[in-house]
Amino acid sequence: MPQGIQIGPLFIRFYALFIITGALIGAWLASKLAEKDGQQSDTIWDLLPWLLIAGIIGARLWHVFTPSASNAAMGITTENYLKHPLQILEIWKGGLGIPGGVIGGAIAMAIYCRKKKMHFGQWADYIAPGLLIAQGVGRWGNFVNQELYGSPSNLPWAIKIDPQYRLPGFEAVERFHPLFFYEFALNLIAAGILLLLVNANRKKRFLFKGDIFLLYLVFYPVIRFGLEFLRLDPSAVSGYNINQTVMGIVAISAIVALLVRHLVAKPKDPELETEGVDLSTIKQLEPEILAGETELGDSESELEESSEKELNEDLEELKKLE
């Protein structure tokens, strides 16, 4: 299977094209969601380069420090990368970890939002559905590279892996579970659910800013946690599957955060929650503000009547003098 196209001296890898395509689709969707909320859609496109750069750096570092079992068997270990640091830059050879990409992108977005005085949760909500789609599209790059496949399978949709890409111990096996496709399909389903919730929330507010992103932190980790059971070369750290462990912790933490927000420490009026301001407090003070305006208006009327009375008295005295 070809892994790219040659254009003159330039070789363009399909792996990179799938990542870029996914990012553009995700950004387009995020810009449309922001636009429907009355926000500037250009903000997403201004943010995209920073998210891509930070995301790729984070994804690469995740791979460097959590190499898979098959990588370790080939000598691609953290120690090897530290001895030959220039190899860390060779991302065209594969080796990007989505958890690190999400962490890197989230850090970049937090810095951007802080600088631009934007609400992180609000903009993370716009990005979350498209991020799931982008991750799913990017997984087709794994298909082209013949990586991220699961255990042996005879199912009709099992994929054939060429001998040079088969893991040690599975050289005689031809067909495997297409983990990349499972993740692609499940990500699309999860993105569809998030979009349905976004549309429902526009009709009747029941979500707080940041809830959609928290749901992303539930859906994707659950998907990844389950698929790790089919993976042949997990990333083991101290004997634990680091990807599966982290995904489980993130999913549970996000569920707890959602429960706390909606059952324990929820705002009094979710429809009036704004960026750092609880308008329900302003709403409670509204009668007092109106009463103050009424009292001020009465005082102004009394002052005008008093001034008019004094002026009339002065005119009468002048007439008497004449």
For the stretch 179-211, pLDDT in tens is 999 999 999 999 999 999 999 999 998 999 999
pLDDT tens profile 267-283: 555 444 544 444 444 45
**Which residues sit opposite 8 in a β-bridge?**
none
Q: Is the pLDDT of residue 240 over 70?
A: yes
CB 176 within 8 A of CB 151: yes
Residues near 62 by Cβ (< 8 Å), separated by ≥ 6? 96, 97, 98, 99, 100, 101, 103
* Full-model pTM: 0.79
Q: Is the pLDDT of residue 246 over 90?
A: yes
Strands 236-237 and 175-176: unpaired
Tokens representing 303 are 């002052």
pLDDT for 145: 87
Q: Cα dihedral angle (151, 67, 137, 185), rounded to 10 degrees?
A: 30
Q: For residue 183, which phi and psi values (nearest 5 degrees)?
A: -65, -40
Helical H segments across 66-178, by residue range: 69-73, 78-83, 98-116, 120-144
The better pLDDT of the pair 287, 212 is held by 212
pLDDT for 94: 67
Q: Is the pLDDT of residue 33 over 70?
A: yes
- Per the listing, tokens 């005295």 go with 317
CB 152 within 8 A of CB 170: yes
Whole-number Å distance between alpha carbons of 273 and 33:
18
Whole-number Å distance between alpha carbons of 56 and 228:
22
CB 266 within 8 A of CB 257: no
Give the residue from 159, 50, 160, 164 showing the smallest Cα distance to 111.
50
Q: How confident is the model at residue 111 (pLDDT cuts 50, 70, 90)?
A: very high
Give the residue from 182, 73, 76 showing the smallest Cα distance to 136.
182
Q: Is the pLDDT of residue 54 over 50?
A: yes
Q: Lowest mean pLDDT: which of 87-96, 108-117, 133-142?
A: 87-96
Q: Is the pLDDT of residue 125 over 60?
A: yes
The better pLDDT of the pair 74, 252 is held by 252
Whole-number Å distance between alpha carbons of 276 and 88:
40
